[in-house]
Structure 1
Amino acid sequence: MIRSIFIILFVLLYNALAAQTNVTVQIFDAENDTPLEFVSVYCERSGGNTDANGKVNIVVNKEDYSIKCTYVGFQTFIAEGRKSELVNNSLVVKMSAVPNLLEEVSVVSGRYDRQLIREIASVEIIKPDLLRSNNLSSLEDLLDRIPGIQMIDGQANIRGGSGFAYGAGSRVLLTVNDVPAMQPDAGFPNWRDIPIENMAQVEVLKGAGSVLYGSTAMNGVINYRTAWATSKPETVVSTQFTGFLSPNDKAKKWWTSLPFESNTSIVHRQKFKKWDGVFGGNYFHADSYNQGNYEHQGRIFANIKFNIAPKLQVAINTLVNKGESDTFVYWRDGGDNAYRGDTTSYSPSKKLRFFIDPVLTYLGGSGGEHKLIGRYFSINNNVANDQSQKSNMKYLEYRYRHSLEKLNMEFTAGLVYTGTRIEAKLYGDTVYTSTNIAGYVSLDKTFFKKLTINAGARYEYNKLTSPEMVDGIAIPNGETSESKPVFKLGANFLLTRYSSIRASWGQGYRYPTVAEKFIKTTAGAIRVSPNPNLESETGYSAEIGIKQGLKIANWKGFVDVAFFRSDYDNMMEFVLQNISKGFQSFNIGDTRIQGYEIGIQGAGNIGNVTIRTLCGYTNIEPTYRNFSEIDTFKSTVTYNVLKYRMKHSFRGDIGLVYKGFEVGAYYQYNSKMEAIDKVFDLGIPGVHDFRASHDRGSNVIGFRVIVPVIMDKLTVGFNLNNALNEEYSTRPGLLEAPRNFSMRLDWKF
């Protein structure tokens, strides 16, 4: 009897094993034949994710198989057939990208690919078309065209979350391919460090990102993603020229020859057997419409990926940036000399900056992704007036991500180390070091294919070493440290395929930078002193939003409406507390910024014309929660409003393309900056009178024409910027560019 049972079990097991077949599935992008990594592939109970070569091995039991392939941003593909018809037990699949913006994907909010329609917070995705068609030469210029963002002299301000601090401190984190790219001493980006010529897309998270990204992401995250090679080698050469015309008030014109900017870049992308390479360079030359201001700088970069094994890949991204520049902090006066600087406020400098980012990726047998991300960032800024500084940053992050498709879950966790060393005359000609150690976890769970719940937490430790005595203030053992947890929670409910509502709440935490605590410098009549007693700030951002798809003929897009509120405790800003010490970074108290934003974005054809649209209106109410007259810190107004914010802003861009020809226009509106420091209003010549005569905000309009010389190969663009020659200023003592024209040539071969 036992022998018979054994024989029966053996036969059943043999037949089951005989029915199993190992099948290799390889998946490519249908548009350019590029292998797709991390595609989920399932057949009955067997499945996995594709590796760097787009391959995955699965087990097929039945003769008639059905293999499902899913990848965010691509249309789901189901391959059906018979095992006996497979050649060498292999299957090649080509997946097509989704034709709708709502199914575009970003990684900025969850550290994994997530469809825009399923985001739990406000996220903008910007493609290179906006950069090229507007002849923009830096990421800074591009961000100023995005609804909800205001660039104030190089500082990104999302929905009023920041005021203005000259080159020190930011509540918005800039990352390049998910790696922090902020300056070690000031927590402030250098926009010329970003190889904008190799842009794949820019993702903007509007709201607290501290849980996944740490201290600097309190007000949001800007993630710049670089492009990689496709199946065919490609070289792109771009050159651009911008000339600045006479201002509306001819008395302000100081130049006799045309001030101009030129920007030239070359990028080559190519795939080889086991590795991909992207190499490029850029040279930027600007002799400004501001007298004596110039910038001459060049950068080169190399991004390389090598497939060590089918599931093991190493990538190294490097960049070197060298140049020289000179700028003034504020004008000589707001009248005839508005484009001339106060002679005591110029800051000539030379710089050498470089980074190297190694990334090791391993796809585990269970489908999990292990990633080790590093960065070494070195800065040497040689600046006049005792403002030089040398610093370096070491960054290391281990990240684990697992897509549990059967449970409809996405799991992400990581450990982060950041260490900096800073030596600068700006901070007393001594050495400062900082250490940040953090751990985070984030989980997404989808219920009924409609409701997605997100939860996350981070624990962060910060330590800063300094001299034991700074500006007469004792620092015990020359060390300050603290640790804090932060949490986030969000939900997205898919009403229909192209309609969703969302709600999110995320805590923020920001530790003071070395610059904010210890900077000691002068710029003309402006003096800045250290404040070693500066404390960290905390808070939260909350949002409720709805996203609704739109379709007109073959034009597809969406309208997005969001209501938001951010509360900050112990907010840090530079203020004038003591005349003898000048400006210092202080904890100004508890603040609140709330408001709403309405935006429309889309692309597609109406008849034979392709229409690209991006526009949005943002309304904010920035106030003190514990307001009294003393809380205004010598502001130009006595009512309750935070300084250096514009309550109303609008950004709009539209492009019409017919057989490669494009005509387009943009419009930017900022309402008046109601409150600034009274010392700027009275102490800098011309600021008070200029603000009094320019109290209706600014309206800036531009137009463009792009002509295809050789279709898909060679294009020439012409832009007229600030076409109405609007005279406006985004921060006190600095006038923006007058009417200017630019020409751009793009050659792809």
Structure 2
Amino acid sequence: MRSFLSIVISGVLAVAATSARAQMRVTLTIEDRFGAAVAGAQVEDGSGRRLGTSDAQGGAVFDCKTPCRFIVKASGFSAASEVIAEDMPANAAHTMTVQLDPAGATEQVTVTAYRAPMGELESPAITRQLAQAELQSTATVTMDDKLRQLPGVELFRRSSSLVANPSSQGISLRGLGSTSASRTLVTEDDVPLNDPVGGWIHWEEQPELALSQVELLRGGASDLYGSSAIGGVVSFHVAEPKTNALEVRSSYGGQNTYAQSMLAQGRRGPWGAEFAGTLVGTDGYIQEAPWQRGPVDVNSNVHARTGLALVEHAKGPLRLFARAGGFDEDRHNGTPYQINHTRLWRYALGGDWNGPRQGTLVVRGYGSTERYYQTFSSISNEPTAENPDCSYRCGEKPTKISNIPDNEIGASAHWTQPLGAGLLLLAGSDVHDVRVWDEEQTLATGSVVKVDVHQRDPALYGELMWVRNGWTVVGSARVDWFQNYDVEQLVQTGSGWTPAPKQPPSFSETVFDPRLGVTRKIGEHWAVSASGFRAFRAPTPSELYRSTQVGNQLTKANPSLQSERATGWEVGVATQREWGTVRTSWFDTQINRPISAVTVNPNSSPILLQRENLGQIESRGVSIDAELAPLRWLAVDGGYQYAHATVTKGPQDVGNWIPNVPHNMATVNLRASQPRLGTLSLQSRLSGRQYDNDANTFMLHGYFRMDAYGSHEFGRWLEVFAAGENLFDRNIEVAKTPTTTLARSRVARAGVNIRLGHERK
């Protein structure tokens, strides 16, 4: 009886206490992240009962008892939960502002296009993201091969970076091609990763487990990112330490291919730290086609080691971090003598601050030290004393040794600040400074020539973004003051180094790159967009002063090169539904003064090419991107690109295709996942024919390739996986220099993934 009375009395007291809670009137202003009013937003209590609806000015007024808990919901935005403390006096009035993020912000927003988060339908730029789960469920080992699951992504040549010569690892987007240098900028947390000497990319440099996401922006972006961002920008995002965890991933497969990765994270209060490391390599294979091989041909391969350490302090609105990384790789490039070695150290310091009135400040300082070593040779088709009966590729004669140290240093800062309803201002500045000491030894004559060069590129840029009633208008511009100076060519003599009789010229250029983008949302699910831009790429020290050789093609340097200048536009239509996003765009980019390798003597051995500023090249076409989730357990993504990429002006090659750019390219990727069964993903790629030289005499046939990846979890901490590349074992032509080289044949690998200390993603 006492127990029953106690329950009754407790219930009565609880009801009385509830009735006695203070009543307040709440006045809300509901807006998006740019300060624009959100009309029609619903305000609900915890039980789902509607408390109010925002008007055209984003205002909503309702009565609530403390503690007042409510949820704000609006179409196209993520819901926001709020609570008002219970120590408010009775009948008090409370005024507050609630900011809403775009719906699905964690999956849909991009930070690379305009250096500010935007929804998929709000962005005038064409962007794609690869999350960590997508990167790790891809059959291939290297980052360049993982990016190839996106349509329109290609290196200078088709080969994987597991066997490619570094001077062919320039990335190509929008059908613009590349030489050894990339016409696409690659960054890691606002720090450029393009090699300071040649502009190529060290694809094995990124520790596999340290990346949280890779973002791809297509189209010229020099207005915010400067040199090299003609075809677009690839941004790597390093995972921040959130918990105490350890992850180990190990695999082994055909051609003795291995990938061993480790990630250790720790968190204590505001302090966080992580260390990541990767060992990746392969014994490789002979790239020369079987019908063209000779005794001189050996396996092309790579063995690389990379590590990254990060320490951060995040408290309140301020995050500070320090990051350091090391990269070391050894390559054999297809003959006994042709090798190269790269050792690279990077460091970065930075801070992110969320200031008053939603302003943000991002500051970075960075640097690198590199030593690059490479040997060159010529291949003879004449019989030798060792091989008197040989008829093809019989002997090898060492020709040159390159030894190139370089230093790089830079800094950047940009501030974003909302200026009112729907208006956002960004202002920034950066500087990039490179010193290169290129030492080339010609073995036939014994001469040693060294070129010292200093390149510096300071810049200022700004951007204004306006968002209102379904419209997004973005205008931005940047001024670069590029300098190539302190150039000195020295010749080694018995008494030391002597200045050469004729010194290479120094030069400087002032470059102005504007951009204008407009997007209009139509209803809840559609948007149309248009943008136009100017962009540029400065010549690299390698293009200016180094001769390079791949296969039997020797490309001579040209110290008189000028920067490439690009003008382009694109228009697009996009739709976003609960089942996915589809985006189509029409694009046209013209590059004036493109730096190209022009054939000078096709009959010499090696074939002689010369870097020149041609008149103009142009790539115009259409691209379609789709990211679909037709079923809860199934994701389908991919796309198609048609690029009519040709030489449109110049003293020669007018009308020819841009080398190593197919007109047609498509990808389709399927990922199915069931917790009880595991994960299965298929990656397929179709590429049309292309030419391997400017004269369009060496044609590479089109190809189709399919890869597969499967995994299964055993408990919460162990995952077993297997992968297969080139499942149909197609002979895929990579290059003709002029001998034909082939991509990897069918290769399989298997491995395990162990995660301790955190939940599986």
How many residues align structurally? 634
- Quote the Cα distance in structure 2 between the aligned partners of 1:745 and 1:112: 38
1:166-181 residue pairs with structure 2 within 5 A? Answer: 168-181=180-193
Task: Give the letter for the 2:308 counterpart.
Answer: F
**Corresponding residue of 1:207:** 219
Specify the SS of the correspondent of 1:625: strand
- Cα 1:474–1:545 change in 2 (3 A) is farther
Shift, 1:415, TM fit? 1.0
Task: Give the letter for the 1:729 counterpart.
Answer: E
Shift, 1:392, TM fit? 1.2
Correspondence for 1:549 among 576, 579, 585: 576
- State the Cα RMSD in Å: 3.7
- Quote the Cα distance in structure 2 between the aligned partners of 1:235 and 1:73: 37
Correspondence for 2:351 among 360, 373, 377: 360
**Corresponding residue of 1:699:** 704
Q: Does 1:658 align with 2:674?
A: yes
- Cα 1:43–1:160 change in 2 (3 A) is closer
- Quote the Cα distance in structure 2 between the aligned partners of 1:261 and 1:522: 26
Q: Name which one, 1 or 2, has greater alpha-carbon Rg.
A: 2
Task: Give the letter for the 2:200 counterpart.
Answer: F
- Cα 1:162–1:96 change in 2 (3 A) is same
Question: For structure 1, which segment, 724-733 or 105-114, has the greater mean C-alpha deviation from structure 2 after superposition?
Answer: 724-733
1:447-503 C-alpha deviation (Å, 9 max, x unpaired): 22x000000000000111254669999558x52111111100001111133321111
**Corresponding residue of 1:375:** 366
Shift, 1:615, TM fit? 1.1
**Corresponding residue of 1:613:** 636
Correspondence for 2:421 among 403, 407, 411: 407
Question: For structure 1, which segment, 647-656 or 459-468, has the greater mean C-alpha deviation from structure 2 after superposition?
Answer: 459-468
- Quote the Cα distance in structure 1 between the aligned partners of 2:101 and 2:519: 23
Correspondence for 1:591 among 612, 617, 632: 617
Shift, 1:200, TM fit? 1.1
- Cα 1:218–1:71 change in 2 (3 A) is farther
- Cα 1:409–1:43 change in 2 (3 A) is closer
Shift, 1:746, TM fit? 1.3
1:259-303 C-alpha deviation (Å, 9 max, x unpaired): 221001110222211212121111113110233323222122112
**Corresponding residue of 1:188:** 200
**Corresponding residue of 2:304:** 297
Shift, 1:619, TM fit? 0.5
Shift, 1:227, TM fit? 1.1
- Quote the Cα distance in structure 2 between the aligned partners of 1:441 and 1:455: 8
User: Is the contact between residue 72 and residue 114 of structure 1 (CA under 8 Å) also seen in structure 2?
Assistant: no
User: Is the contact between residue 571 and residue 589 of structure 1 (CA under 8 Å) also seen in structure 2?
Assistant: yes
**Corresponding residue of 1:632:** 653
Correspondence for 2:78 among 68, 75, 79: 75
- Quote the Cα distance in structure 2 between the aligned partners of 1:538 and 1:79: 50
**Corresponding residue of 1:325:** 331
1:217-253 C-alpha deviation (Å, 9 max, x unpaired): 11110001111123x422211011221xxxxxxxxxx
- Quote the Cα distance in structure 1 between the aligned partners of 2:310 and 2:75: 24
TM-score, structure 1 normalization: 0.78
Task: Give the letter for the 1:423 counterpart.
Answer: W
- Cα 1:73–1:313 change in 2 (3 A) is farther
**Corresponding residue of 2:48:** none
- Cα 1:516–1:70 change in 2 (3 A) is farther
- Quote the Cα distance in structure 2 between the aligned partners of 1:434 and 1:68: 54
- Cα 1:279–1:603 change in 2 (3 A) is farther
**Corresponding residue of 1:644:** 660
Shift, 1:205, TM fit? 0.7
- Cα 1:462–1:73 change in 2 (3 A) is farther
Correspondence for 1:501 among 523, 528, 533: 528
1:171-204 C-alpha deviation (Å, 9 max, x unpaired): 1000001211111111221112222321111111
- Quote the Cα distance in structure 1 between the aligned partners of 2:244 and 2:35: 29
Shift, 1:117, TM fit? 2.1
Runs of 5+ in structure 1 lacking a partner?
1-19, 21-37, 45-59, 244-258, 329-340, 634-638, 682-687
1:427-466 residue pairs with structure 2 within 5 A? Answer: 428-448=449-469, 450-466=470-486
Specify the SS of the correspondent of 1:376: strand
Specify the SS of the correspondent of 1:216: coil
Shift, 1:321, TM fit? 1.3
- Quote the Cα distance in structure 1 between the aligned partners of 2:653 and 2:173: 22
Specify the SS of the correspondent of 1:352: strand
Specify the SS of the correspondent of 1:731: strand
- Quote the Cα distance in structure 2 between the aligned partners of 1:210 and 1:456: 10
Runs of 5+ in structure 2 lacking a partner?
1-23, 25-31, 39-60, 160-168, 287-297, 376-399, 442-448, 492-499, 757-761
**Corresponding residue of 1:559:** 582
- Quote the Cα distance in structure 2 between the aligned partners of 1:96 and 1:317: 32
User: Is the contact between residue 34 and residue 422 of structure 2 (CA under 8 Å) also seen in structure 1?
Assistant: no
TM-score, structure 2 normalization: 0.76
Shift, 1:80, TM fit? 5.1
**Corresponding residue of 1:34:** none
**Corresponding residue of 1:14:** none
